[in-house]
Amino acid sequence: MPQSVRVATVGEIPPGTGKEVVAGDAIVAVFNCDGQFHALDGICPHSGGPLAEGQLTGCTVTCPWHGWQFDVRTGVNCLNPRMQHTNYPVRVDGTDIIVELP
Ligand code: FES
């Protein structure tokens, strides 16, 4: 059943940064890409690295462990467009960032 989870406030994730949060049963990486918030499964599909701790350049996050890169807006791997990492809808309600879990 879909679930809306408040994960942070807008001020907690400045532009160009990410934050790892636990939402329901998921570990979620929430990113602020030029003022727009996006959420991916926080566990890198390569070998479990913490995507929220990766460098965010524009809307591309680089996994801190081995450098895989993902577009945080879509979850698509930058080198292999057929690889789609799980992403979650995000909305802002006032100052709250809400992630929609399936
Ligand atoms: S764990 Fe992310 S690139 Fe290897």
- Number of domains observed in the structure of the chain: 1
**What's the gap in Å between 51 CA and the centre of ligand 1?**
8
pLDDT for the residue numbered 35: 95
Q: What is the CATH number of the domain that holds 14?
A: 2.102.10.10
Tens of pLDDT along 46-67?
Answer: 999 999 999 999 999 999 999 9
Tens of pLDDT along 59-101?
Answer: 999 999 999 999 999 999 999 999 999 999 999 999 999 999 9
pTM of the model: 0.96
Q: Which of 27, 68, 69, 79 has most ligand 1 atoms within 8 Å of its beta carbon, as the pocket-test mutant? A: 68
Q: Is 44 in the pocket of ligand 1 (CB under 6 A)?
A: yes
Domain that holds residue 35: 3-101
Tens of pLDDT along 34-48?
Answer: 999 999 999 999 999
Q: Which residue has the CA at smallest separation from atom 4 of ligand 1?
A: 66
pLDDT for the residue numbered 56: 98
Q: Tokens for 5?
A: 């989870």
Q: In 3-state terms, what secondary structure has residue 7? A: strand
